[in-house]
Structure 1
């Protein structure tokens, strides 16, 4: 199997795929489809790789680094526990994510709270439980948080989110460091510096440092170097003016993974040593001491560890204008369980997962069952010409954002999430039921 699959994926002599030692046919029979399948050992190994490679790379320079799992990629209480057991911290961006992380046993001091528009309730809860850091995103938030901290008689640990102007990665909707967008405070206009001063002067805020995130699906280490230079330059200017040294710098995440066999990924070891060298160059150029660093991988830990299983329903042969043809393979899910194709024009691949086929391959499009022509799971993939109703298809690299962005469009029921390991499966998140769906509906009188 290509690198788009998790490490335990195998194909047996009869053509069926197994993951974590479990045949996908067994998973489908026991748990139904669509089904998110998470390779627990693979996900833990990816988390540990970030921890170990970055610790080793920065340790060469005498610096320390913390790894925060960006839980928006995929979070449930058991995944939070896995991250805790692998010695990762957890980044959350809502009250719900905070509560799930706590439920998974993550110590509050190892949780960071993000968000461009945090509510009073979210900030209050973060202060009450004692999260390790709150990444402030606006002057309004600085004022509100200072007042809430005073009310609760606590000191709020904060980092300022900086828009550095360095942009890297994929679709414009996941770019996060250009000026014309909602996140952060601008380095170029001086807003970031003013926010640092405001936090430093606030009576009830404890200014820990600065944070940035330059994008997603990043393959270029040069972007991280430029971002580090600008962040350390801001840190140095603040220290020179105030005499206060910021102890922490967070360089965010965005490490690319492969979604298709021809896709590229940023290897964890390469990223760790490349970024550490880039930071060293930035420190040499800017001057000053090394801060404590942190990073925030999410997709790169969860994405390749997951796949989605579907059952084929209808197969249609469609004639194209150029005289060619396309095979439309409709499955029992779609944009309700994977929004990324329609939202970001994301590319995926798929394979027949339940049997062998000697049939010729056909240019195919895997589509969902929703009332949208844009309801596409995989835009272009070669599948056997005899793909038929009842076959299982597996789509790899869906561990990040599949379940997190899942929805109930057309009153669809969100799939279950199961973890597999050592020949066993266990449910992480149960499948929606009709009772769940109707519970939110206020019956007509």
Structure 2
């Protein structure tokens, strides 16, 4: 009987027989050759995801502007592949969303032109603006005090307003950042729109973009809540238009998820794009999207060696030669993990284990009570779907080194 694929499998990351492969290459063999911890990245899948997103928006009758959230994946190999989708500055080109001066300069160094870069940061300092202003990139401002500062430094320029609709959705959680229960650090509330427009006009700023970020890792189950949140954004967008703001783009940010655990399915892009078309299609604006996870996650796996298998007070601990310094996404974003044995990737998961890292902190645990295959010390395991918010977020805590990363531009 044919085994059902894992939700994270695709042409570039798949299991052949029992063995995990990335871009057609055997994962365990690469770990033995290059050592662990080791990320393997199928670059083609990032391009495929970007094109799928762009095409879905086009089928919905929208004019898409797709950008990669650079904080999710900033590797030059990946950026070069995205840069190659279409000529610089063309409507089909995939740009980048940046949130710091360092990211901005990195994007420019990797071939992106100013018109393809959207800067949405928070708490901009004068030093930040010393870098940002000379580049001429478009900035979305998320606080009225920041709008004052930006207006003084760049009067008469175009600017976007990051909006806070007091609504949003996050897969598996109801956190205050997205629930709207209390004030957050991001975005201009509807009650303050008039004040923001007044400040912009005082400095001659042209408000040309309504920007928002209101989702995190959503799949089909979250689309109804996403729909409701976007209704608020559409109302705020209409208010800006009524106030005389010459908008050219509504940018809905990112927050699109990818499937990881059993039972999860890929986001229905046509259903998602249909929601955007219903709310924003009548405005005649470009529709910008800035995903990180959706574009990058499925592209990679993280390989680690099992260095410990031990029973401790009735619990099975599986210890790895990797810790939160190498992959802190599960700790910062509270994401679950799915881990397979690279040479026996479809092995039944009969055991329940605590998966521990090698950092000298008690909570360096990737999970408790995880269903796991029988595993032996010395075997290579793979964390699935680790292409975004991972390798670029490493720390040198405990002076543990970063993981090596292999990027594959072609599949074999």
TM-score norm. by structure 1 comes to 0.82
The residue that corresponds to 1:37 in the other structure is 40
Residues 1:358 and 1:138: Cα distance change in structure 2 (over 3 Å): closer
- Considering only aligned residues, what root-mean-square deviation do their CA atoms show, in Å? 2.4
Q: Secondary structure at the match of 2:54?
A: helix
* Correspondence 1:213 to 2:213: yes
Cα distance in 2 for partners of 1:340, 1:198 equals 38
The residue that corresponds to 1:376 in the other structure is 365
* Correspondence 1:110 to 2:113: no
Unpaired segments ≥5 residues, structure 2: 86-92
Shift of 1:173: 5.9
Aligned 1:320-339 pairs, distance under 5 A: 320=314, 326-339=315-328
The residue that corresponds to 1:235 in the other structure is 237
The residue that corresponds to 2:101 in the other structure is 95
Residues 1:342 and 1:235: Cα distance change in structure 2 (over 3 Å): closer
Cα distance in 2 for partners of 1:412, 1:105 equals 32
Shift of 1:251: 1.5
Unpaired segments ≥5 residues, structure 1: 284-288, 321-325, 425-445
For the 8 Å contact 1:108–1:130, the answer to whether it is kept is yes
Cα distance in 1 for partners of 2:230, 2:372 equals 44
Q: Secondary structure at the match of 1:303?
A: helix
Cα distance in 1 for partners of 2:356, 2:372 equals 13
Cα distance in 2 for partners of 1:239, 1:362 equals 58
Aligned 1:34-433 pairs, distance under 5 A: 34-57=37-60, 59=61, 63-86=62-85, 87-131=93-137, 133-150=138-155, 155-170=156-171, 171=173, 175-176=177-178, 178=180, 179-187=182-190, 190-203=191-204, 205-219=205-219, 220-240=222-242, 242-280=243-281, 283=282, 289-320=283-314, 326-355=315-344, 361-385=350-374, 387-422=375-410
For the 8 Å contact 1:340–1:346, the answer to whether it is kept is yes
Q: Secondary structure at the match of 2:216?
A: coil
Question: Which structure has the larger Rg?
Answer: 1
Residues 1:40 and 1:359: Cα distance change in structure 2 (over 3 Å): closer
* Correspondence 1:27 to 2:30: yes
TM-score norm. by structure 2 comes to 0.88
The residue that corresponds to 2:89 in the other structure is none
Cα distance in 2 for partners of 1:72, 1:268 equals 23
Residues 1:53 and 1:335: Cα distance change in structure 2 (over 3 Å): same
Q: Secondary structure at the match of 1:147?
A: helix
Deviations 1:416-443 (A, max 9, x none): 222124457xxxxxxxxxxxxxxxxxxx
Shift of 1:265: 4.1
Shift of 1:88: 0.9
Cα distance in 2 for partners of 1:85, 1:174 equals 39
Cα distance in 2 for partners of 1:109, 1:382 equals 47
Number of equivalent positions: 397
For the 8 Å contact 1:71–1:90, the answer to whether it is kept is yes
